[in-house]
Structure 1
Amino acid sequence: MELKKPLVIIPTYNESENIEKMVCRVTGLGFCVLVIDDNSPDGTGELLEKLKNSNSDLYVMRRTGKLGLGTAYIQGFKWAIKNNFDLIFTMDADFSHNPDYLPELRKKLDEYDYIIGSRYVKGGGVRNWPATRKVISRVGNFYAKTILRFDVNDCTSGFSGFKRKVIETINLENIKSEGYGFLIEMKYRTYKNGFRIFEYPIIFTDRTLGKSKISKNIIWEALFLVWKLRKIVK
């Protein structure tokens, strides 16, 4: 029996400059793509509907407004399980996550349950960030790792891959955080459930087209979240 292709979930908001090229790159590597668009005013959703007509590996979920990264991924995970995908990946639409890493992340899932595309292990790194942003990211990840007492160096990476059993084990209804906080919480709940985690080195390249969606409020949420997680996740 032919195995189903892995699924890559990509949330979008105003990514019309990037999304067509990204979808073509990812599906060309032998992956299916689910794009979840939050009613982008730049026409991202309409562009995706046109692309879907000529690409059978593309699925599109259009939401009514800007509902956030966390809820987008949760809806995407539920859709993936309902549609019987066994391997699920997450990544950004703006090419800060190079899709060429996907085949290597896929191979690592033969050995592990959850793969993180990591900037902060040997061989990983960041390009095109100012020094202040690099420091904030490094310190924030060290802070989360230290408070939560788990051995993950890049807690806020949005580039990941995992087996469906991870999602089936984690209670998605308990996840309420957004942005960086959501990314931290997913990894921590995976770790606390005893799954095997591996950090694969990647070079993160800051977007060249479009505008970053990360706000100061999302960063502050993540800082407070780690203390909450330490108390409620056993």
Structure 2
Amino acid sequence: MNIFSAEPISEGLVIIPTYNEIENIELIIKAVLEQSSLFDILIVDDNSPDGTGQKVRELQVLYPKRLHLTVREKKAGLGTAYIHGFLWGLESDKKYKFFFEMDADFSHNPSDLLRLYQECKDNGADVAIGSRYIRGVNVVNWPLRRVLLSYGASFYVRMITGMEVKDPTAGFICYRREVLEKIDFNKIKFVGYAFQIEMKYKAYIHHFRISEVSIIFTDRTRGKSKMNASIIKEAVLGVLVMRVRHLFGR
């Protein structure tokens, strides 16, 4: 056997939930896979009517071993999409060591994947967060109102939970496999952006080491944002519910 001809094994799985991302999907897939052979991609598509899933199938011909797709019957929330992806990756024969959450719309720069990976792999973090707020406010193309809302929400979460995480609502994250194996996904209650807070809080109460890596977040330039009032309401009220449940051991 010629050991030098063996293909490198991907240690990380980048999970990208999608719903109507036809304008971004090919670009984001190619951008991620060009970063490093360390990463595979799993697209969790919620049966997008715009053909996102079909485009991924076409690209699988180019990346048969590194690009994976699972299609759910209908739109069912960001949190359940990530949990679906985590379970898929944990059960995979590839035995991924690192799991990434990432948006499809280039608000997260694919080149920062290596920085999150290195924070876990080389610097010993169990959870590495791509943070908008550890060096001022690193957000591009957001109106002031949204910046204030997001920054204020981060402060609110820290006050309620006690976590010293500057950007608890961040959605660009690397988890070590051990973190996901420890968390009981059946007890994750939230499906919107409160899911991001809840996952970090679960890691926090299990005493995993959480680290933040400064990134620049750029709002999407193609496609439609999924943010709405109900998602914000879930996040605000959900933090209180989450904290109370923990205090009462539920």
TM-score (norm 2): 0.91
Cα shift readout 1:109-141 (whole Å, capped 9, x = no counterpart): 122100000001016610000000101111111
Aligned partner of 1:17: which letter? Answer: E
2:78/2:193 contact within 8 Å kept:
no
- CA distance in structure 2 between the partners assigned to 1:166 and 1:118 by the alignment: 19
Report the number of matched residues: 234
| Cross-structure match for 1:218 | 231
1:109 aligns with 2:120: yes
1:44 to partner: Cα distance: 0.4
1:1-234 equivalences under 5 Å are 3-30=9-36, 31-56=39-64, 57-83=66-92, 84-110=95-121, 111-122=124-135, 125-233=138-246
1:42 to partner: Cα distance: 0.9
- CA distance in structure 2 between the partners assigned to 1:173 and 1:93 by the alignment: 26
- CA distance in structure 1 between the partners assigned to 2:70 and 2:227 by the alignment: 22
- CA distance in structure 2 between the partners assigned to 1:32 and 1:228 by the alignment: 35
- CA distance in structure 1 between the partners assigned to 2:135 and 2:150 by the alignment: 16
Aligned partner of 1:184: which letter? Answer: I
Structure 1 runs, 4 residues or longer, greater than 2 Å off: 1-5
SS at the partner of 2:193?
A: helix
- CA distance in structure 2 between the partners assigned to 1:123 and 1:140 by the alignment: 15
SS at the partner of 1:109?
A: helix
* Structure with max Cα Rg: 2
SS at the partner of 2:86?
A: helix
TM-score (norm 1): 0.97
Question: Which is worse superposed, 121-130 or 132-141?
Answer: 121-130
Unaligned runs of 5+ in 2: none
